[in-house]
């Protein structure tokens, strides 16, 4: 018999006897399933958060902040600065010749989270008239747009689903009394759907503010960024920096991002290590309990490598079974669950995102499970194939 067919025969034989060694085999399955079932939601949380933050970055859009400001909440732009930037070359104009820009102000709006009724805050963004033209990925899906001069809000669909009191017709208590929800917008993959929008000038009047936080401009082309940046830097009236949107989003909410990454990798690696030793343990036990069997097989002519390969294959298949179980648990429990955590545009405002048990995520964790199974099976397999036949036959 050739080596592959020997290995296949031995694997089949080994698997047939799994029921007799059920405890040990289940340790591998349950151990790996535990890792996968924990790792998938934790990773999905981190990936969902990161994807939502970086969501809709386009390199033909740029964010203008005041110099030294790392994010919108720290930035402050005067009306004059906004006018200068809007008319700079390189800024795209719409059909009627108006510059495609939105000068924005961000403010916290207190809301209650539906799930636990806890008080949290979301970002209320005062935007310019061109907001939707500038962000074609967003569109109004219900109700109507706010009218400048009225204290009206249009809410993001994600925010509306996650927080109480954001349905059309609801009043939200903010500065200067109640603000009415008049519409819902949706679209894009980013953080904007976690926000409420209103007219910037109206918000600034109500909050007695005289400067904007940030400004989004559409570029005539991605290449227009560098000249625009130089030109604005050279303008003595201005104290601003321009970043392309992807560049800006990359740096946003780095604190929460770092935290989630740390937690994800810490938990993931500790659990993987634990599962590795669990797999090692039970594969060694499997080998030990079959010492006589292995020696007999080798005595009747099975090659040592075939024995090793069969053991590895068994470990791999058990790991795969565990991975399948873990994926099923994680999918049932967490797929499509929408959560909110810190991470909005203001330091304490909420970002809404959903956990998606995606194909790459599942593939990645299954890969990890296989690696764990193989690593756990390798040493015991080598030991089994090297053990002396004579001693093995004598062992009870």
Partner 1 sequence: MRFLPLVWAGLWRRPLRSILTAICIVIAFVLLGLLEGVNAGFARAIANAHRDFLVTNTRVRGGAPMPISAMAEIQSLPGVKEVAPRAYFMGRDRDPSLKSSIVAIATYPELFFQMLPGLRVTPAALEALRADRAGVLATPALLDARGWKVGDRITVQSMTAKIDGSTDWTFDIVGTFDTPLANAPAYFGVINYAYYDGYRASDRGTAEMFYVHIADPNRAVAMSAAIDRIFANSSHETRTRSQQARAELQAKQMGDVEFFTDAIMVAVLFTLAFLTANTLRQALHERAREFAVLKATGYSGVRVLSLAYAEALLLCLPPAALGLLIARLLAPLAKADIGAVVVSPRVAAAGLICAACLALLGAALPARSLARMPIAAALGKG
Residues that bind partner 1 (CB under 8 A): 23-24, 26-27, 30-31, 33-35, 37-38, 41-42, 45, 68, 70, 74, 76, 107-108, 110, 113, 115-116, 118-121, 173-175, 207-208, 255, 258-259, 262-263, 266-267, 270-271, 273-275, 277-278, 280-282, 284-285, 288, 339-342, 348, 350, 396
Q: Whose Cβ is closer to partner 1: residue 6's or residue 193's? A: 193
Among 37, 21, 48, 26, residue whose Cα is nearest residue 356: 48
How far apart (Å, rounded) are the C-alpha atoms in residues 378 and 283? 9
d(CA 227, CA 354) in angstroms, rounded, equals 38
Closer by beta carbon to partner 1, 302 or else 353: 353
Of 8 and 285, which CB lies nearer to partner 1 in the complex structure? 285
Q: Smallest gap, in angstroms, from Cβ of residue 68 to partner 1?
A: 6
CB of 258 to partner 1, least distance (A): 6
- The answer to whether 355 and 331 are in contact (CB under 8 A) is no
Nearer to partner 1, 276 or 362 (CB): 276
**Residue 23 Cβ vs partner 1, minimum distance, rounded to whole Å:** 5
List of E strands, 113-265:
119-127, 139-143, 152-156, 171-174, 177-186, 196-199, 211-212, 214-218, 240-244
Minimum distance of partner 1 from residue 26's CB (angstroms): 7
Smallest Cα–Cα separation from 132: which of 94, 106, 164, 168? 94
Compare residues 302 and 334 and give the one whose CB is closer to partner 1.
Answer: 334
122 strand-pairing partners? 109
Instruction: State both tokens at 76.
Output: 């402050």
Among residues 63, 88, 58, 59, the alpha carbon closest in space to that of 243 is found at 63
Smallest distance, partner 1 to C-beta of residue 307, A: 19
Evaluated on CA atoms 76, 82, 85, 86, the torsion sign reads: positive
- Beta carbons within 8 Å of 275's beta carbon, 6+ residues apart: 31, 32, 34, 35, 372, 376
Of 363 and 379, which has the nearer Cβ to partner 1?
379
Enter the tokens of residue 391. 């001693």
Residue 130 vs 151, nearer CB to partner 1: 151
Give the SS3 label for residue 268: helix
Please, what sign has the CA dihedral across residues 207, 208, 211, 216? positive
Minimum distance of partner 1 from residue 248's CB (angstroms): 15
Taking the least distance from each CB to partner 1, the nearer of 1 and 233 is: 233
CB 33 → partner 1: shortest distance, Å? 8
Q: Tell me phi and psi for residue 114, to 5 degrees.
A: -60, -45
Cβ 90 to partner 1, closest distance in Å?
A: 25
Closer by beta carbon to partner 1, 27 or else 219: 27
336 Ramachandran zone, left/alpha/beta (phi>0; psi -120 to 50): left
Q: Least distance to partner 1 from the beta carbon of 355, Å?
A: 11
Query: Looking at beta carbons only, is 3 or 263 nearer to partner 1?
Result: 263
Contact 371, 39 (CB under 8 A): no
Find the shortest distance in angstroms from Cβ 164 to partner 1.
Answer: 14
Q: How far apart, in whole angstroms, are the C-alpha atoms of residue 127 and residue 140? A: 15
* Bridge pairing between strands 196-199 and 119-127: parallel
């Amino acid at each position: 018999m050739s080596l592959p067919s020997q290995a296949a025969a031995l694997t089949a034989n080994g698997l047939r006897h799994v029921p007799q060694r059920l405890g040990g085999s289940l340790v591998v399955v349950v151990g790996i399933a535990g890792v996968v079932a924990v790792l998938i939601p934790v990773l999905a949380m981190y990936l969902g958060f990161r994807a939502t933050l970086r969501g809709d970055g386009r390199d033909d859009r740029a964010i203008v902040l005041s110099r030294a400001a790392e994010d919108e909440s720290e930035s402050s732009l005067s009306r004059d600065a906004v006018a200068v930037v809007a008319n700079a070359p390189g800024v795209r104009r719409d059909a009627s010749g108006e510059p495609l820009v939105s000068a924005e102000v961000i403010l916290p709006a207190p809301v209650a989270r539906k799930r636990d009724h806890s008080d949290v805050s979301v970002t209320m963004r005062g935007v310019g008239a061109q907001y939707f033209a500038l962000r074609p990925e967003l569109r109004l899906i219900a109700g109507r747009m706010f009218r400048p001069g009225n204290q009206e809000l249009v809410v993001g669909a994600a925010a509306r689903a996650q927080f109480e009191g954001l349905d059309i017709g609801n009043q939200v208590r903010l500065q200067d009394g109640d603000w009415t929800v008049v519409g819902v917008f949706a679209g894009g993959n980013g953080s904007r759907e976690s926000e409420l929008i209103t007219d910037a000038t109206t918000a600034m009047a109500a909050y007695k503010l005289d400067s904007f936080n940030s400004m989004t401009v559409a570029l005539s082309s991605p290449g227009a960024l560098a000249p625009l940046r130089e030109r604005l830097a050279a303008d003595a009236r201005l104290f601003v920096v321009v970043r392309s949107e992807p560049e800006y989003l990359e740096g946003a909410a780095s604190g929460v991002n770092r935290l989630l990454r740390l937690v994800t990798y810490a938990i993931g690696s500790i659990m993987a290590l634990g599962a590795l030793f669990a797999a090692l343990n039970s594969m060694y036990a499997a080998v030990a309990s079959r010492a006589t069997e292995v020696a007999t097989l080798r005595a009747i002519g099975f090659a040592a490598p075939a024995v090793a390969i069969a053991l590895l294959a068994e470990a791999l298949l058990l790991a795969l079974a565990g991975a399948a179980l873990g994926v099923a648990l994680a999918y049932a429990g967490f797929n499509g669950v929408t959560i909110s955590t810190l991470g909005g545009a203001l330091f304490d405002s909420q970002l809404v995102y959903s956990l998606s048990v995606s194909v790459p995520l599942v593939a990645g964790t299954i890969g990890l499970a296989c690696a764990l199974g193989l690593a756990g099976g390798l040493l015991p397999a080598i030991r089994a194939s090297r053990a002396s036949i004579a001693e093995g036959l004598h062992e009870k």
